[in-house]
Structure 1
Amino acid sequence: MTGRKKARNVIYNVITVIVLILFLFPIYWMVITSLKDTGEIFAKVPTFFPKNITFDGYISQLSVIGSVPLWRQFLNSFIIATLSTLISATLAVFSAYGLARFKLKLNKTLMFVVLVTQMMPTVLFLSPLFITFQKIGVLDTLLAPVLYTSLQSIPFCIITLRPYFLDIPGELQDAALIDGCGRFKTFTKVMVPISYPGIVVSAAFTFLWGWGDLMGALTFIQTDSLQPLTVNMYKAIGEFGIEWNNLMAYAVILTLPVMIMFLFLQKYLISGITAGAVKA
């Protein structure tokens, strides 16, 4: 390796470290703020590590946010995110497979429609969905934010999964059909397992949307016992003022499951993103 290449690698590494620090610093600040007392948080000279670590934000203060127990809020968020993931991933797999493997004249038009739905702001759908959910009787239930999140994430999942099915050689499908597999069995036994990384990355992002959804849950749910973590965190800001250690402890609890999930699924996320950039 020449001296010029070494210098270039050093520069790239330095830039990578700087970008990584910029992205991770808000998370670090959130964690240390949750461990500080009020006096240290509002000190004139900010501290980058708590002088006296306190867990009041996780124990005493967190327990009084809202009238709903934390475990119930956590369960509501988990139900919304999980059901949204199952619905979106299942429907998107079938849709992406059809758009990739069946040569129809409307394929390009359908993909254009899918892309357009991703460009539109989600706030445009709130009023018509509110009226629709009210008429079909799912308003003020957990099913309402589930359907709302699913409608948002299905186009993204289709866009992510379609390149995986396009990259699968047609000979594999033909061989399975010749061997006696029906079309549906070929789809479930051959095509889906090969596309497993794409399905995982689609499911992961859908779970993230469902877990962090505030707008849908705030619009479609009025019953306190059905509201997820995001809504109760939002209410804590206005109802009790901004108690930063309390609020940051709440934020840590809200983001921790997602961070753990993405840590374990990072190789699938990278492969899913790169595959989506190769062929559309």
Structure 2
Amino acid sequence: MPRPATEPAVVSPYYLGLRNRERLARFAAYVLLVLAIVIVFFPLAWMATVSVRPNLEVTRMPPDWIPEIFTWEPYAKIFTTPRYLVVFANTMVISLVVTALSLVLGAMAAYALARFRFAGQRAVLMFLITTQMFPLVLLCIPYFRIFITLGLYDTRTALVIVYLTFTLPFCILMLRSYFLNIPRDIEEAAMVDGCSRLGAIFRTLVPMSYPAFVGAGLYTFLLAWNEFLFAVVLIESWENRVLTMAIYSLMAEFVTEWNMMMAFSVLASLPLVVAFIFLQKYMVQGMTAGALTS
């Protein structure tokens, strides 16, 4: 017999308990996300507020979030000091060169590893994976001796070569995983239509792999932009220094220019923040695609 329209539907206690548990889990997840955002943005907010106050006010206890004296002097000093501008130019040039070389060389090596079978292929892959697990600090002295011998000490070329040694293997592995997910039939169809293998790669494989290129390029640029250890070991003169060295040089034995250091840090973070805002979707696609490919 059909239930009258005015009679309320009976919801089982099990369904109510399940729905309440889902709501509680969702609420807990939102709480954890908000807490994570606060933890992440707390040092960033403090960095920004320190960069616009006098250095004497930074050391005041207890600290104040809102500066009593608002000043752009640290930023003005950075933009009016030639050696600081050179530092920004050096960092940008080195990061872009390393990113471009890593993507070009990495794409060629990744294509060979993804499309061809040859003796020693597994050994090459194991070597590339091993380079990602090797502690970079152990390479400081060998690199120092090598570049002293080659006459490349205190040159930007030395930094480009060193950065390539740990960004290139990552790009190769990441692009290879992405290439393996693209059917080779697409390239073969392009070659049947008259393209050479190189033409088929540039007309089909490369346009379809732009998320992987964006992800690998952004990761490579980030590593080169933020690297500090090898820069300290291999660079001495101010005309060849990078941003991380310039920030570290502001730490003195008696007086540390905290406002200048934070202003440098804010300016150094801006390109990365802008890149992540516009390219994070492609970076996630490039990082996750091919994750299950062997």
Provide the TM-score with structure 1 as the length reference: 0.90
* Structure 1: gaps (5+ residues): none
Provide the TM-score with structure 2 as the length reference: 0.86
Structure possessing the higher relative contact order (Cα contacts under 8 Å, 6 or more residues apart) = 1
Q: Which of 120, 126, 151 is the equivalent residue of 1:137?
A: 151
What is the CA-CA distance between 1:139 and the residue it aligns to?
2.5
Instruction: Select the structure of larger CA radius of gyration.
Output: 2
- Cα deviation code 1:174-221 (max 9, x no counterpart): 212222222121122211111111111111111111111222222222
**Counterpart for residue 33 of structure 1:** 50
Distance 2:290 2:67 in 1: 43
1:5 aligns with 2:22: yes
What is the CA-CA distance between 1:96 and the residue it aligns to?
1.2
Change (3 A) 1:8 1:240: same
Change (3 A) 1:80 1:10: same
- The 8 Å contact of residues 231 and 241 in structure 2, kept in 1 or not, is answered as yes
What is the CA-CA distance between 1:31 and the residue it aligns to?
0.8
1:198 aligns with 2:212: yes
Q: Which of 116, 134, 139 is the equivalent residue of 2:130?
A: 116
- The 8 Å contact of residues 140 and 222 in structure 1, kept in 2 or not, is answered as yes
**Counterpart for residue 162 of structure 1:** 176
Distance 1:193 1:239 in 2: 53
**Counterpart for residue 140 of structure 2:** 126
Q: Which of 57, 74, 86 is the equivalent residue of 1:72?
A: 86
Give aligned-pair identity as a percent. 33
* Structure 2: gaps (5+ residues): 1-17
Q: Which of 190, 193, 197 is the equivalent residue of 1:179?
A: 193
- The 8 Å contact of residues 84 and 246 in structure 2, kept in 1 or not, is answered as no
Summarize the alignment of residues 1-280 of structure 1 with structure 2, pairs less than 5 Å apart: 2-60=19-77, 62=78, 68-238=82-252, 241-280=255-294
What is the CA-CA distance between 1:267 and the residue it aligns to?
0.8
Distance 2:64 2:290 in 1: 43
- The 8 Å contact of residues 68 and 224 in structure 1, kept in 2 or not, is answered as no
Distance 1:194 1:219 in 2: 40
- The 8 Å contact of residues 131 and 169 in structure 2, kept in 1 or not, is answered as yes
- Cα deviation code 1:206-248 (max 9, x no counterpart): 1111111222222222222111222121112136732211211
Distance 2:172 2:50 in 1: 39
